Amino acid sequence: MEVLSRILKKAEENNLIRGFHVGAMNSIGMRISHLLFADDTILFCDASRDQLLSIRAGSLPMKYLAMPLGTSFKTTLIWNPILEKMEKKLSRWKRLYLSKGGMLTLLKSTLSSLPTYFLSLFTIPKAVAASMERIQRNFL
């Protein structure tokens, strides 16, 4: 990332690309041509209308890192993949001959961690929480 940043700065110094101006137009301010964060890069460059028309633009809702973006956080449909994963795992575990303690340990250790990634972005609706509890209860 640091090498890419240097290359972009050099391209801007040589007037090959031009970022946008930050600050008042009559002041010195600064130009920003790119932003880097973790493994994401955003480029800001001048472009003609023809160049922009050749770029494929996405629209919301979409998925990014398996997370639905642009959907209502209150909808229960976004939780369907989690519920399906829970049911799929449980169907495989039913074939195993496990004691009640073993089943309970599997439920607590594995299934309780499945919604954690989604919970970092969405609050869980009561109906979905009830469905998760019902799926786990039916397994026991």
Per residue in 9-67, pLDDT (tens digit) is 888 888 777 777 777 666 677 778 888 887 778 877 776 666 656 666 667 777 777 77
What pLDDT, on a 0 to 100 scale, did the predictor assign at position 1? 64
Nearest to 21 by CA among 32, 11, 13: 32
| Residue 33: both structure tokens together | 């041509």
Taking the C-alpha atoms of residue 89 and residue 94, their distance in angstroms, rounded to an integer, is 9
What is the value of pTM for the model shown?
Answer: 0.55
Contact residues for 67 (Cβ-Cβ < 8 A; gap 6+): 117, 118, 121
DSSP state of 113: G
Q: List, for residues 70-117, the tens digit of each pLDDT value.
A: 777 788 888 998 999 988 888 888 767 788 888 888 888 888 788 888
Question: Residue type at 55?
Answer: I
